[in-house]
Amino acid sequence: MIKPRPGSSLLVILLLTPLWFGSCTQEPVVPIAGTHVIAFGDSLVRGVGASPGKGWVSLLSTRLDRPILNKGKNGDTTRSALSRLPRDVLTQDPRVVLILLGGNDALRRLPQQLVFENLAATIDQIQQVGARVVLIGVRGGPFFDHYAKSFRALAAEKNVLLVTNILDGIWGNQQRMADMVHPNDEGYRLMADRIEPVLVKALGSRS
């Protein structure tokens, strides 16, 4: 019987270890599916307060020279939006979905934990059909942004792109608001400016 030399077993383990870890950490590249860019959310997606064609969805569609399906619904909360997700998004062959929700939840003072559970469920269902997500953050209160940390944590957990506090410098600025809640043309232009580079990044890779 041949006895291994002292230390030889450790040498074999050290030699094989990089190969073993390498095979476990190399995840397959899965192409994203779908064709359409979809904006999904509330009245801020719909473009309430803007002149015709001046909402951020319309502006980005023109700038990028590609159609963007506008699936905004006035008054939507994260819960009501989740209920219409299959009809308005999942069955529409999505490639990239921009989610802008949470403002109405904050106005109604709905539990923050429930808000982000609904957003997480929305993201999960979109990712399950192979589409990418751009999450667009909103303020969680008039004086203090209770949502900021939760939006960052959710984006990191779900590995999605994030636009933080989309109404920063817009909400409360009379020069950029059509009413107490909705931006005017200038406000929506600034929203489009902030979302555009993130959307371009989401669209940039085919894998």
Q: How far is CA 178 from the centre of its chain?
A: 25
Residue type at 37 in one-letter notation: V
Q: Would you place residue 206 in the very low, low, confident or very high pLDDT band (cuts 50, 70, 90)?
A: very low
Instruction: Confirm whether 5 is domain-assigned.
Output: no
Instruction: Confirm whether 178 is domain-assigned.
Output: yes
* Proportion of the chain in helix, strand, coil states, percent, rounded to 5: 45, 15, 40
- In 3D space, the residue among 177, 123, 129, 131 whose CA is nearest the CA of residue 37 turns out to be 131
Mean pLDDT of 100-119: 96
Instruction: Confirm whether 10 is domain-assigned.
Output: no
Instruction: Confirm whether 66 is domain-assigned.
Output: yes
99 pLDDT higher than 70: yes
Provide the whole-model pTM.
Answer: 0.83
Instruction: Confirm whether 13 is domain-assigned.
Output: no
Q: What is the CATH number of the domain that holds 67?
A: 3.40.50.1110
- Tell me the two tokens of residue 202: 């989401």
pLDDT digits (tens, 9 = 90+) for 169-197: 999 899 999 999 999 999 999 999 999 99
User: What's the chain's average pLDDT?
Assistant: 86
pLDDT digits (tens, 9 = 90+) for 37-78: 999 999 999 999 999 999 999 999 999 999 999 999 999 999
Q: How many distinct structural domains can be found in the chain?
A: 1
Instruction: Confirm whether 7 is domain-assigned.
Output: no
What integer pLDDT is reported at residue 111 of this predicted model? 96
Instruction: Confirm whether 173 is domain-assigned.
Output: yes
Domain range for 45:
33-204
Residue type at 140 in one-letter notation: G
Whole-number CA gyration radius for the chain: 22
